[in-house]
Amino acid sequence: MDCNPLFISSLNSGSNGNCYYVGNHEEAILIDAGISCRETEKRMLRLGLSMQKVKAIFISHEHTDHIKGLCTLASKYNLPIYINQGTLAACRFNLRADLIRNLQTDKQVQIGELLVTNFSKLHDASEPCSFVVSHGETKVGVFTDIGAACEQLTFHFKQCHAAFLEANYDDELLQKSAYPYFLKKRISGGKGHLSNLQALELFKAHKPLFMSHLLLSHLSKDNNCPELVSDLFTQHANGTEIIVASRYQETEVYAIFEPATVHSF
């Protein structure tokens, strides 16, 4: 059995808050902190995950649903905040200066035995980025808030044993929605969010044979349906387990192994 598993969970995923847990047996990180400190603690406790293992928080961009719990959570546990200069400048919260660590695009950060890679993405934020977390040869990607699948996303997606992938909206539901025209354009205009079909195209064309889990993430409350997107992806899963990350509760914890031995608990 592979000795380098990664344990992953979506603590919450959606426009009401985003927070993703990735760790090994000894240490973990959070990608974004878009739910309250109290909710983060409660959900991790229900999952049997310890905040004492969390060693850092990585921030993808400055939108409120990704940072609104950041100040309290980072201060309470004295967690370093890895954030790039563009995101920090656009952040409306007063973060503790002693906790801030400069995150450079396309650079890697070592957190214990975890290696965190970040790369730029297409989104309407100051300096948005996506992440790949590695432990040994095992890799997990966190790919949400993306307007289009760029070459870098494709490159990293091909290497992941599991991924959180945005499937934000169904095209027909969005067009029929009561959203104003400018908001529909913002969502679907190339720097907003990935549609179900855009995410599916990436999955079908570039899913590696060893990808064991795909967690469909950041679903719109009004313009998508968990059953719809689950059925759509399951038809093309070819051995990959499809999970829809909820905007209301945490997922279970999945243990991801390289090459493809996977367990859940």
Domain-located, residue 102? yes
DSSP, collapsed to helix, strand or coil, labels residue 185 as helix
- How many structural domains is the chain composed of? 1
Domain-located, residue 92? yes
DSSP, collapsed to helix, strand or coil, labels residue 112 as coil
Domain-located, residue 1? no
Is 260 a residue whose pLDDT tops 70? Answer: no
pLDDT band at 263 (very low <50, low <70, confident <90, very high): very low
Q: What is the pLDDT of residue 265?
A: 46
What is the percent of the chain with per-residue pLDDT over 70, rounded to a whole number?
Answer: 96
Alpha-carbon gap, residue 254 to 265, rounded angstroms: 7
Domain-located, residue 210? yes
Which tokens sit at 136? 């040994």
Supply the CATH number for residue 36's domain.
3.60.15.10
Its domain, for residue 86, covers: 6-264
Domain-located, residue 66? yes
Mean pLDDT of 224-233: 98
Closest CA to 141 of 112, 161, 120, 170: 161
Mean pLDDT of 147-152: 96
Domain-located, residue 34? yes
pLDDT band at 94 (very low <50, low <70, confident <90, very high): confident
29 bridge partner residues: 22, 56
Q: What is the pLDDT of residue 2?
A: 52
Closest CA to 149 of 104, 103, 108, 197: 197
Domain-located, residue 164? yes
pLDDT band at 4 (very low <50, low <70, confident <90, very high): confident
pLDDT band at 243 (very low <50, low <70, confident <90, very high): very high
Distances in whole angstroms, Cα of residue 123 to Cα of each of 49, 61, 173: 31, 9, 21
Mean pLDDT of 32-43: 98
Distances in whole angstroms, Cα of residue 141 to Cα of each of 8, 24, 99, 177: 10, 15, 24, 31
Q: What is the pLDDT of residue 261?
A: 45
Q: What is the pLDDT of residue 144?
A: 98
Mention every residue, 6+ apart, whose C-beta is less than 8 A from residue 122.
128, 146, 147, 148, 150, 190, 191
Q: Any idea which residue has 């907003």 for tokens?
A: 192
| Average pLDDT score, the chain | 95
Q: Which of 41-50, 89-98, 131-140, 189-198 has the lowest mean pLDDT?
A: 89-98
Domain-located, residue 50? yes
Is 1 a residue whose pLDDT tops 50? Answer: no
